[in-house]
Structure 1
Amino acid sequence: MSALLATEDRGRDRESRIRVLTADEHRAFLATRTDASFLQHPSWAGVKDQWAAETIGWHDGDSGELAGAALVLYRQLPGTRKYFAYLPEGPVADWADPGIDRWLDPLMTHLRRAGAFAVRIGPSPAYRRWDAARLKAATGPGRKVGDVLATEVDPLGTAVAERLRARGWRRCGGDTGEDADAQPRYVFRVPLTGRTPGDLWSGLNQEWRRNVRKAEKAGVRVVIGTEAELPEFHRLLRITEERDGFCLGRSLAYYQRQYAVLNAEHPGRMRLYLAVHQGEILAAHTMISTGRRVWYQTGASADHRREVRPSNALQWKMMLDAHALGADVHDMRGVPSTLDPDDRPFGLLRWKLGTGGQVVETLGEWEASVGGATNNALYRAFQSYMARR
């Protein structure tokens, strides 16, 4: 795969150029962009070990300064020498720049030379936001989050979507098909900036405050685990998947690799929180932090002794720790779009709504062919295959 060599590509307007970055160069740039997703850090390539990967950077044509960066994952199309390129929640670039072609065109040129037939990106701007109180009041049979008037529509997100559509990019799954995204389109975020721990406590609804107190009174202890407790976390995750009717399909080895590579890049980047009651781990949650962002990634809990509310205790402790780390937001990751109380997935949304945060619709993921007759044909075949799946 010759294009993974350190080459330079120049955009048509010659205002920016792309070159392959070292991991240290990439990390140094991300240190200046504290809002970047953990999926765009060099360590994530070590988690996705079945993908080829490279880190690239955009350099200003005049000053030569690094203006953007991306972790690019490549998956080979079986039977070909072509690749599907994926930039999860990336690239980390100036999405507010109306001259998007200044860095988008060099990206497509670089990917074409890398042998990619298509690319998927995850723009960072938000699209719409809904406060918890508004959604709670709107629940009902057949209702969806998108049916409710948003508390806020992000003008930047709207502009970016229009710019991408005008250039032939396709929103995966369309405007309603969030299931086509590899990363969650609807996420739940608790704002932390300018708030005290007391404010966070007041933001919890009565049920959440009652459950946190119940856990404390029952003697639930929240501790930070180590790699040694990952097998127990994974066992509880399998129980949770069966109980709640979903399947992440991730092995214990996946979480062990993730824990090792993320913490090797930055000690404490991934934490394992454990809720212990009477000497037994009843629940376990993973948390990832980068810059000024913190994510609750995956949660698992036992089927028994649920009345002592270990998951509420865990999440409250994680929220306080995120605040202590100086994070701007506690991102609780994906939520379903249903507001129908009779839909099984609604339980997860209901639980997160109790923290008083916001449901945020991201721009989702966008795909495009990298151009050329052969690549266009491969991309159409790829779309048909994914549709059948």
Structure 2
Amino acid sequence: MYKRLHLNEKEHNKFIEEHQNGDLLQLTDWAESKKLTGWYYRRFALADETSELKGVATLLFKKVPRLNTTLCYISRGFVCDYHDHALVEAMLKEAVIVAKDEKAYAIKIDPDLPIDEYEDALENLKILGFRHHGFQDGMSKGTIQPRQTMVTDIDKNDADLLQSFERNNRTKVRNALKKGTEVYIAGRDDLKTFVDLMKETGERDGFLTRDITYFESMYDHLHPNGHMELFLVRLIPSKVEASVKEDLEKIENEMKKAHKKKGSEKKDNQLRDLSNRQNKLYNQLQDAENLHREHPDGIILSGALLALSGHKAYYLYGASSNDYRDFLPNHHMQYRMMQFARDKGAKTYDFGGVSVMPEKDSQHFGLWQFKKVWGTEVSEKIGEFDYILKRPLYTAAEVAMPLFQKGKVKLNQLRKK
């Protein structure tokens, strides 16, 4: 019923970009970038009896240390219609052939399919023999990709996009747009600046950061075909001065109008409030002038890597300086990246994994709080699955090896004590 086709890279990527279930992690460009971390890949495509292309898959493989085997990982699953159960079965059969050829002990998939739309696909994968890892939390370390992500609908004009944000966030974005920062698309040479910001962010928030070679590999493989851009935010002192002066002029005009009013307690209160605001602005103007002297060419405050694949956009990595945070550079950057992604054809903007509604004392609360204000909705996916090819090796690699590694860590900790 189905036959294998041989597609070139351009044809393979085109199908993924245009398919409803296509994903960045299935692109050849993404697979090429993973070679740096020890993965290699193979691809296949299936067509029906009329030679119409129905599905493609990029299979990542990684050798398991000390074992003569590999793990086959089809990140974000086959790119096909998961409601077509016969097609999914055919895709699995083809994947098994390739995986066995690479001595894989298992095939791991984690399709980007909403659970509320694909319950039939979840049950069908189980029927086909896949082992379901359950409905893990979005920040669980037990899965490769997060099962829960926060996604914003960006298929709308600027006014409606801004209106979709939570009220307080709309105010912050509007303020950020006029505070004196500019968002621009940077080049490969600016990755060093971005990595420096990442280190600063990691030290502040307590996480380990990656070496520049990792980001260079991603950029070199994804950027040439339009699948990645580096954004930076620069604080422009002259713009800050101009913005403050504009606000001072407005205050002065309001004070002139207030003085013309007849004497009253309300008038006095208004003038007192305006005077306080005026003094604050004078201080801000002094700060802006000092900033101009210290950084005449401006200063980089934030950066992010934005990925694109067809109708989807992904906020992959973000970083920011500890300085001048009151200028809200991240708010300016997020809004501009959404606009850019939409203008490139994206309909959704994925903020990545999140723990849904965590307790306030949770380490994940701040991340949830930041991501939920951008008009996002939780995307609950059907989860991660394993198709076991060699059970003894699967047990060794998935159960025994992790336990052994944990034991080594604990033993080393005890020795240090």
**Which is helix-richer, 1 or 2?**
2
CA contact 2:227–2:308 (8 Å) conserved in 1: yes
Determine the C-alpha separation between the residues in 1 that align with 2:21 and 2:340.
Answer: 18
1:40 aligns with 2:29: no
What amino acid does structure 2 have at the position aligned with 1:72? L
Q: In the alignment, which residue of structure 2 is the partner of 1:184?
A: 146
So what's the TM-score if we normalise by structure 2? 0.76
- Percent of counterpart pairs with the same letter? 28
1:212-258 CA distance string (max 9 Å, x none): 233233201111111111111111112212222333x4221111111
1:140-185 CA distance string (max 9 Å, x none): xxxxxxxxxxxxxx132x221112223332233x323542111121
Q: In the alignment, which residue of structure 2 is the partner of 1:92?
A: 79
Secondary structure of the residue aligned to 2:85 is coil
Alignment of 1:130-169 (within 5 A): 154-156=116-118, 158-169=119-130
Closer/same/farther in 2, CA of residues 269 and 31 from structure 1, 3 Å limit: closer
Determine the C-alpha separation between the residues in 2 that align with 1:288 and 1:121.
Answer: 21
Determine the C-alpha separation between the residues in 2 that align with 1:155 and 1:25.
Answer: 28
CA contact 2:312–2:347 (8 Å) conserved in 1: yes
1:336 aligns with 2:355: yes
1:282-305 CA distance string (max 9 Å, x none): 110111112121111111011121
CA contact 2:136–2:147 (8 Å) conserved in 1: no
Question: Following TM superposition, by how much is the alpha carbon of 1:31 offset from its aligned partner in structure 2, in angstroms?
Answer: 4.6
CA contact 2:21–2:79 (8 Å) conserved in 1: no
Q: Which moved more, 1:225-234 or 1:95-104?
A: 95-104
Determine the C-alpha separation between the residues in 2 that align with 1:34 and 1:161.
Answer: 17
What amino acid does structure 2 have at the position aligned with 1:344? Q
CA contact 2:358–2:364 (8 Å) conserved in 1: no
CA contact 1:95–1:123 (8 Å) conserved in 2: no
Structure 1 stretches (4+) deviating beyond 3 angstroms? 17-22
Q: In the alignment, which residue of structure 2 is the partner of 1:55?
A: 43
Among candidates 212, 218, 231, match of residue 258 of structure 1 = 218
Secondary structure of the residue aligned to 1:299 is strand
Q: In the alignment, which residue of structure 1 is the partner of 2:100?
A: 112
1:72 aligns with 2:59: yes
Structure 2: tracts of 5 or more residues without a match: 237-297, 407-417
Question: Following TM superposition, by how much is the alpha carbon of 1:387 offset from its aligned partner in structure 2, in angstroms?
Answer: 4.3
Secondary structure of the residue aligned to 1:79 is coil
What amino acid does structure 2 have at the position aligned with 1:179? K
Determine the C-alpha separation between the residues in 1 that align with 2:131 and 2:194.
Answer: 38
Secondary structure of the residue aligned to 1:282 is strand
Closer/same/farther in 2, CA of residues 294 and 208 from structure 1, 3 Å limit: same
Secondary structure of the residue aligned to 2:79 is coil
Determine the C-alpha separation between the residues in 1 that align with 2:185 and 2:69.
Answer: 43
What amino acid does structure 2 have at the position aligned with 1:236? L
Determine the C-alpha separation between the residues in 1 that align with 2:4 and 2:395.
Answer: 27
Secondary structure of the residue aligned to 1:223 is strand
The aligned length equals 338
What amino acid does structure 1 have at the position aligned with 2:92? L
Closer/same/farther in 2, CA of residues 204 and 24 from structure 1, 3 Å limit: closer
Determine the C-alpha separation between the residues in 2 that align with 1:31 and 1:346.
Answer: 33
1:200 aligns with 2:161: yes
Determine the C-alpha separation between the residues in 2 that align with 1:32 and 1:213.
Answer: 34
Among candidates 376, 398, 403, match of residue 383 of structure 1 = 398
Name the Cα RMSD after superposition: 1.9
Structure 1: tracts of 5 or more residues without a match: 1-14, 128-153
Question: Following TM superposition, by how much is the alpha carbon of 1:315 offset from its aligned partner in structure 2, in angstroms?
Answer: 0.2
Secondary structure of the residue aligned to 1:48 is helix
CA contact 1:86–1:119 (8 Å) conserved in 2: yes
Determine the C-alpha separation between the residues in 2 that align with 1:35 and 1:103.
Answer: 14
Q: Which moved more, 1:306-315 or 1:337-346?
A: 337-346
Determine the C-alpha separation between the residues in 2 that align with 1:209 and 1:338.
Answer: 21
What amino acid does structure 1 have at the position aligned with 2:93? D
Determine the C-alpha separation between the residues in 1 that align with 2:315 and 2:396.
Answer: 36
CA contact 2:78–2:91 (8 Å) conserved in 1: no
Question: Following TM superposition, by how much is the alpha carbon of 1:377 offset from its aligned partner in structure 2, in angstroms?
Answer: 0.6
Question: Following TM superposition, by how much is the alpha carbon of 1:308 offset from its aligned partner in structure 2, in angstroms?
Answer: 1.0
Closer/same/farther in 2, CA of residues 385 and 310 from structure 1, 3 Å limit: farther
Closer/same/farther in 2, CA of residues 287 and 188 from structure 1, 3 Å limit: same
CA contact 1:35–1:293 (8 Å) conserved in 2: no
CA contact 1:117–1:376 (8 Å) conserved in 2: yes
